[in-house]
Chains A and B, each alone.
Chain A
């Protein structure tokens, strides 16, 4: 992955508007967060291969960045994004890595389903 270039990302977001896509959305502080720090309130969420179609979307912020997608009947957004790539399968991968390089959030879009 490479550091997010907001201009290129915005072009990509605009290009994929109106398409039927699959989404992967995940946040995590790790399964060991509460083990390593007893008082830590651990939360996370994971959704993979839900269908999504957005009308328009934006990338904002100074880095880490935020991306919000306006759906026909709702919204999707992610914050804390630092890196991205379009991989060889044409999957658009956004990720937020913390200062230790650990993944904290992943937000991904693809025209084909992600493998289970």
Chain B
């Protein structure tokens, strides 16, 4: 069992599809989870169905969705960095690393969950993860938390190999579904289809809901 889990992602909803079950497994066994979310996904293209948001109201709507998702996940410590969506790769990397280091010093996580730098498609995902790894590298090797990284770029398994961490989260699937639904403005277009396919036991959707896969990031060797 972990002492404290630190989840670091750039966008509200990054925690929903690939990580929600894992987060629930921690919070439901009493392990505190801190979630650092760098932006409010201000630049999202999905505006809800029917349209419920515009470019200026989207951040407020996504903040409410994020807070509801955290409630459903049992996350009591949400920390927002107030950065802007799609700008993470252009930010002052040293400042970002320092802010992440401050959180690590504060919560002293035994496990960090983030994206796998270079294998997470969205530039914000890759830049966030790269900064997290740099922050972890600054810690003395013996004191470093484990890093579980999420990769999903095309062909990532050819290079990284199979993920070494595979969690069966099927017992949390209905709660995970609620977390996905909580990010309404972003998921409304796909949610009903996905839920129906899950109920119909569609293999791809079942696999996606029930299994969460991570690579332990080789901080010491990188």
Contacts and interface: CB of A to CB of B under 8 A. Distances in A.
Interface of A: 1, 24, 26, 28, 30-32, 35, 38, 46, 83, 85, 87, 89, 91, 93, 95, 97, 100-104, 106, 108, 114, 116
Nearest to A93: B54
Contacts of A28: 43, 45
B54 A1 contact: yes
Given A95-B47, A103-B47, 8 more contacts: A1-B54, A26-B43, A31-B86, A83-B51, A87-B54, A108-B55, A114-B56, A116-B84
Contacts, number: 58
Interface in B40-83: 43-51, 54-57
B56 A102 contact: no
Nearest 5 interchain pairs by C-beta: A102-B45, A31-B122, A106-B55, A35-B121, A103-B45
Given A32-B121, A32-B122, A35-B154, A93 B45 contact: no
B189 A26 contact: no
Interface residues of B, number: 22
A35 B153 contact: yes
Nearest to B82: A116
A83 B49 CA distance: 15
Interface of B: 43-51, 54-57, 84, 86, 121-124, 153-154, 189
A101 to B, nearest CB: 6
